[in-house]
Amino acid sequence: MVVLLSLTWLLLEMLLSDWLTAVLSRDFTLKDIVQLHLLATPYPGSFKCFICEEADDNYSCNRWAPDTYCPKDTRFCYTHHRISSVGGSVAVTKRCVAQEACVSTGCVTHHGHMVCTSCCEGNMCNLPVPWNETTAIFSTKYPLNRESRICPSSATTITIIILTLGFS
């Protein structure tokens, strides 16, 4: 009887410890993000960002973020993280933005809080929040100042070859 009671108690403790671990977990992982079905997108190149206004922390923001696509006139996911002087989150704001909203990424001190801002390009790329200058960055998939390479026309190329051969 004592063995059965001990075994029951052990199983109950294991069950409760697993349940408490699951309840107390405050970090999202990439496994939490459901993959997009390309056929269900509202427009070509559409993407999603975590979206919230003044959430208490990153977990609360990501947990309750609406599952909607960003507007067509946006390209980046923006994150604004206000951090207390003791290092805890005060507020988290995340949204979809155009490039103009991403010009001032980095960290500054404002009214006793450190405020870190980051922008990224990609589906649900704003999962984490910036905590310092290292993570408060503007990351893109492609260079923003892509210049098209100027290829000379075939007439220009032939002219250069003829002139080069003529002077040799």
Tokens of 96: 């979809």
Residue 18 lies in a domain: no
Residue 163 lies in a domain: no
Where do runs of H (alpha helix) occur along the chain? 2-24, 58-64, 154-166
Q: Which residue from 95, 104, 56, 93 is spatially nearest to 76, judged by alpha carbons?
A: 95
Residue 159 lies in a domain: no
Residue 33 lies in a domain: no
- Domain CATH for 82: 2.10.60.10
Tell me what pLDDT residue 122 has: 94
Q: What is the pLDDT of residues 15-47, one digit of tens each?
A: 656 555 554 555 666 666 554 444 567 888 899
* Distant-in-sequence, close-in-space partners of 109: CB < 8 Å, separation ≥ 6: 115
Residue 78 lies in a domain: yes
Its domain, for residue 104, covers 47-143
pLDDT band at 1 (very low <50, low <70, confident <90, very high): low
The backbone torsions φ and ψ at residue 114, rounded to the nearest 5 degrees and listed phi first, read -90, 130
Tell me what pLDDT residue 43 has: 86
Whether 57 has a pLDDT exceeding 90, the answer reads yes
Whether 9 has a pLDDT exceeding 70, the answer reads no
Q: State the average pLDDT for the chain.
A: 81
Residue 25 lies in a domain: no
126: exposed, middle or buried (Cβ count in 10 Å: 0-12, 13-18, 19+) = buried
Tell me what pLDDT residue 150 has: 46
Tell me what pLDDT residue 134 has: 95
Question: Average of pLDDT values for 138-159?
Answer: 66
Tell me what pLDDT residue 42 has: 84
Residue 165 lies in a domain: no
> Could you tell me the pTM of the whole model?
0.64
Q: What is the pLDDT of residues 97-138, one digit of tens each?
A: 999 999 999 999 999 999 999 999 999 999 999 999 999 999
Tell me what pLDDT residue 145 has: 74
Structural domains in the chain (count) = 1
Residue 129 lies in a domain: yes
Tell me what pLDDT residue 105 has: 96
% the chain with pLDDT above 90: 55
Question: Average of pLDDT values for 55-63?
Answer: 96
